[in-house]
Amino acid sequence: MRIVAGRHRGRVLLAPPGATTRPTADRVREALFNILAHGETPPLRGARVLDAFAGSGALGFEALSRGAAHATFMEIDPAAYAVIHGNARKMTAEGEADILRADATRPPPARRPCDIVLMDPPYKSGLGQTALTALAAQGWIAPQALVVVEVAAAEAFASPLPDFVIADERRYGAARLVFLRPAAP
């Protein structure tokens, strides 16, 4: 697993051992960040990003590589949490990252809301919707944020947030990216 583009392009990331995490495939990550680079608001450059269910931290580190100002990684698995710390050291990103050993479905209160929220919960678990509700309640999601949730291609997903609607969906093999944006006033 490598960083696809940006200042850390080509840098290899460590992955947690075993089958408890499923890193986002490089081609899905590349497609996601191409969409973010050419999308509307908020811009990736200078953004505060949350990588929930972080696993290896690949989504957050890709965001940092492409110009995000800060990334918060939220992961409950001890092995994955340790890998994220290792990847932060490899990328010399400690000053740009907060790494929390926390459950995204029961997160701590946010210090500051995030402009872009990236989530890759276990497929077919329903945890994405649960986590979004909890993250919003704890102040992690800025009012004009972009939220992207990776789910299984055929998995049902509806926005649990009353102020956010599904603006787009993209399928990549076994994965589907669901883009949530604030509802129009």
Residue with the bigger pLDDT between 123 and 184: it is 123
pLDDT tens digit sequence for 129-167? 999 999 999 999 999 999 999 999 999 999 999 999 999
Of 107, 131, 106, the closest CA to residue 121 belongs to 131
Cβ neighbours of residue 13 closer than 8 Å, sequence gap 6 or more: 1, 2, 3, 56, 57, 58, 61, 87, 90
Residue with the bigger pLDDT between 43 and 23: it is 43
Question: What pLDDT, on a 0 to 100 scale, did the predictor assign at position 12?
Answer: 77
Hey, where are the domains in the chain?
26-182
Residue 83 has pLDDT above 70, yes or no: yes
Q: Mean of the per-residue pLDDT values for the chain?
A: 90
Question: What pLDDT, on a 0 to 100 scale, did the predictor assign at position 28?
Answer: 87
Cα–Cα dist 4/72, whole Å: 19
Cα–Cα dist 145/65, whole Å: 20
Q: How far apart are the first and last CA of the chain?
A: 41
Residue 22 has pLDDT above 80, yes or no: no
Cα–Cα dist 63/49, whole Å: 7
Strand partners, 171: 176
Q: What three-state secondary structure class fits 33?
A: helix
Torsion of CA 48, 184, 158, 100, to 10 degrees: 10
pLDDT tens digit sequence for 26-68? 788 889 999 988 876 678 899 999 999 999 999 999 999 999 9
Residue 14 has pLDDT above 60, yes or no: yes
Q: What three-state secondary structure class fits 142?
A: strand
pLDDT tens digit sequence for 100-116? 999 999 999 999 999 99
**For the structural domain made of 26-182, what CATH number should be given?**
3.40.50.150
